[in-house]
């Protein structure tokens, strides 16, 4: 059992709280049995379990840990509670932590499919927002998520927790020039709809039953002019009271679930 906080292995895992360390080793951290169950086995590199955790976990979780422990292709360690607290990002660690290989998709893979439903995210800064968007996207049937380079790090621990496992099931990629990507998708016949207040139509007016994507902008500033220019349509969500805007994750949810509803009904709408 590892009990020393100065252990080099412990220091290395703890360093993955920093983006540079994660990127250098091409890994990220997941905490808790739920996230470990969601992670594809071939991506799991290392597992750390507190000494007392195995005695209180379910039979199914115990069986999973035993199978992972027996696999010589990954590193498995029992650690003290203090060591787990040093390595974990949460204030009250659940007793299980894994180092997982980072992964991503190409833009071509992210946008593939006969009738894609996409999210294009520009400069989303809040990790909780980004994670919630991924989780909501999966629920709404979004087939791919494209992020600008200045979005929050998708492997930030808060993002990972907020996805509730959707990180392992949604296709996503990062591009250098999101407006150019949006314009290219539009040229390929994928209708790009930008969430915007000015010059827009009410969000449930356009037809989303065909291939389409929603552009969602920064929490405070919205979309850049370049992104707005690349869009085929601008849509707005009507709001009562004195509210000026909605949370980016909420906006993404409203738009993608409207698309999901239309696709279930398959009733084309005149534009």
Question: CA 149: distance to chain centroid?
Answer: 14
pLDDT at 134: 97
pLDDT at 66: 80
pTM: 0.90
Sign of CA dihedral 154, 159, 165, 169: negative
pLDDT at 57: 73
pLDDT at 197: 83
Measured CA to CA, the distance from residue 107 to residue 12 in angstroms comes to: 32
Over its length of 271 residues, how does the chain's per-residue pLDDT go in tens digits? 899 999 999 999 999 999 999 999 999 999 999 999 899 989 999 999 998 786 677 778 778 778 777 777 778 889 999 999 999 998 888 899 999 999 989 999 999 999 999 999 999 999 999 999 999 999 999 999 999 999 999 999 999 999 999 999 999 999 999 999 999 999 999 999 999 988 789 999 999 999 999 999 998 889 999 999 999 999 999 888 877 778 899 999 999 999 999 999 985 566 6
Closest to 246 in 3D by CA, of 209, 189, 203, 207: 203
Measured CA to CA, the distance from residue 228 to residue 126 in angstroms comes to: 21
CATH superfamily of 8-101: Ribosomal protein L30/S12 (3.30.1330.30)
pLDDT at 148: 97
Closest to 235 in 3D by CA, of 264, 270, 194: 194
Measured CA to CA, the distance from residue 123 to residue 103 in angstroms comes to: 21
H/E element, 195: strand 191-195
Backbone angles phi, psi at 198, to 5 degrees: -90, 140
Q: Which fold has domain 107-265?
A: Alpha/beta knot (3.40.1280)
Cα-Cα end-to-end distance for the chain:
65
pLDDT at 58: 75
Domain ranges across the chain: 8-101, 107-265
Q: Are strands 117-121 and 144-148 parallel, antiparallel or unpaired?
A: parallel
């Amino acid at each position: 059992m590892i009990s020393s906080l100065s252990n080099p292995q412990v220091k290395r895992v703890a360093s993955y709280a920093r983006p540079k360390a994660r990127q250098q080793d091409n890994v990220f951290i997941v905490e808790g049995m739920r996230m470990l169950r969601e992670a594809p086995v071939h991506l799991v590199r290392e597992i750390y379990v507190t000494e007392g955790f195995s005695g209180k976990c379910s039979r199914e979780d115990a069986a999973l840990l035993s199978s992972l422990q027996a696999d010589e292709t990954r590193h498995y360690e029992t650690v003290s509670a203090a060591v787990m607290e040093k390595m974990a990002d949460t204030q009250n660690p659940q007793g299980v932590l894994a180092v997982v290989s980072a992964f991503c998709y190409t833009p071509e893979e992210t946008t593939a499919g006969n009738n894609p439903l996409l999210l294009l995210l520009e400069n989303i800064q809040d990790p909780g927002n980004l994670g919630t968007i991924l989780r909501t996207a999966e629920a709404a049937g979004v087939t791919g998520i494209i992020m600008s380079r200045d979005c929050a790090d998708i492997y930030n621990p808060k993002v990972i927790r907020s996805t509730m496992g959707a990180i392992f099931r949604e296709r996503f990629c990062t591009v250098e020039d999101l407006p150019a990507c949006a314009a290219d998708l539009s040229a390929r016949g994928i209708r790009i709809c930008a969430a915007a207040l000015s010059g827009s139509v009410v969000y449930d007016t356009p037809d989303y039953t065909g291939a389409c994507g929603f552009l969602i902008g920064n929490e405070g500033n919205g979309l850049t002019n370049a992104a707005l220019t690349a869009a085929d349509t601008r849509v707005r969500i009507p709001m009562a009271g004195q509210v000026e805007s909605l949370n980016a994750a909420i906006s993404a949810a409203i738009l993608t679930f409207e698309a999901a509803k239309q696709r279930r009904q398959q009733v084309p709408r005149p534009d």
